[in-house]
Structure 1
């Protein structure tokens, strides 16, 4: 590893217990998007303790910490803070039992089912190491903690709230995400890495009637069922076999009783694509199919389409990805890999886009290596290794956290290392 990376990471053993305790605390106390008040407060407190200039309340609960060390490049690193409305089933001693009221007052369980607790703990560990080894680097370090990644609104909210004017302008933006690979793994990829994701609520309108008198109805349940079936052909029959995309109908809702034909049905549809051309093609096909099925059923009112969330594709810039990959090869050796494209989605790219600067985003593993190897040997990776958003997803603290801290350090120092290194 480089001299700067070695110098900074010498402090890792000392802070390791603090990072692990922080991770477990965050896991026990998850917060949904736009509600990350406790998490943001803990991040701000740690950063101020380590000498960072902290600006809070950007886009709601977002914040940045800035540490300056003379002339040189400016590097921004981002961590997301929010959790998910999932009931935890890990059985861990530090498992979440948090619930919060929903809009109608019913309790909603909350869990860090996507590893954002790893991201926050790793970032704060990295930030502390960089503050304690300032002699090893030069330039300006910006650590950014983003709200509501899961809802796809957090990055845009920070930008809309003046992030570009409230932060030093970075030369590059860096980020990482824990994934269900073996802990210790790091993976980079230039170009298309994560998909765009578009979620839409579709309301199909029919005519209600008694279940015994279907001739008086226009049945929206049948209409919806035919649309669901036909939507499965969009990818298989309208895209080239080598063009990846996913169309998922994740929710179908209609009716109140077995003998009542309702007057409407609702579908929630998710589309994932890797490029804007395919994105436009698939979205147009989805709308065409739904409208056609409504027309075929004799619907007297056009379907309604309501956008629920939209995530951009994550397309890593070539130059910073090569730089980070080289740093990882040097530090991690055979644990550094080229990762395959992922069908998950992110809003992180909105931040470098707002600054007009390049970025790269990589993955780290969080699964117990023994569990992963056993599942791989048995051909049971898809069933035995919990993935992000599963109620059983909980990255093992080590070596996940050490890898997260080390990866951020090596990546940042690829730009910030002192000239003599």
Structure 2
């Protein structure tokens, strides 16, 4: 008897996989497990539109699918259910309420959790991270009752939240320990441009910041202590990256290492067990074959569709071009590829005009492109990378040359 597909995690990847299986005309049982009480929802708006709005309809707009979708597609969605153990030998998972669930194929879409900082005072009220809808609700409530916000971390989530808080009229300070914001993700030119844009809007951005502790009064945070002094805060948001939720897999004897290790078909070391999305570590062609763990909706959705194909008999392998985005007020940042190992950058356009792209090369090979307010160039850059096309750097720098003409 076909025991069906069990999906652990109902984020973008988990829901996309369930939907893709039905689109592939998979007729077996599909069980979708979520340890959250909320119906599956879109995550990008949590740091922007949802935080800044007080509309009662906002949560309905977040839904990945209407509640009726799961019944219509015969997807057994179980909310508030946690998987406590995986028995790979007998192909069963143990659930938090005591039930054991058999599977033919198990997909781990367990995502990642926000990293916390092991600093003195980190248990004070008013120190938040953002990963879930429940987190966003707390931050929205806190923002309504505070004036000074300190964001620790100048990555995408931290900056998106900082911009939202600033748009709400809050005093905002971003503390970044590196020498520039978004250091691991974008070119120096992009970091500099975005820094200046945010500072022009009244945001304080401190680079090379040394954060020592969180300070508070009556169990609530009142500021952040740095090597150079204290920064007052009614609300502190920590944006220090994510940690893969791989403990469940590791306890089951599945190979892990900065995530759950998977092959080109997203298979883990255990038979009939796959991992997708933020928790999956895979060898990526666009990282020079190095293992990477990508936290993006595109990656989760593309991997979900690939696994659906594999379950239905395909021999397809994961080769999608990675792309990302971050909306920060007037700055629309779009990225494609991975700039790991870049040796050279070429700027196309004039940053002073507020619209430009930076092309990353490894020697003569194009490996990534960062675009600021250039959606068409982003789309064309995705096509260049997908086609393995590395235009001459002089052609890229010349804005008179249409990128479309370089696609061949």
Same fold (TM over 0.5): no
* Higher radius of gyration, 1 or 2: 1
Q: Does 1 or 2 have the higher relative contact order (CA < 8 Å, sep 6+)?
A: 1
TM-score tier after normalising by the smaller chain length: under 0.3
Name whichever structure is richer in helix by fraction.
Answer: 1
TM (norm. structure 2) is 0.28
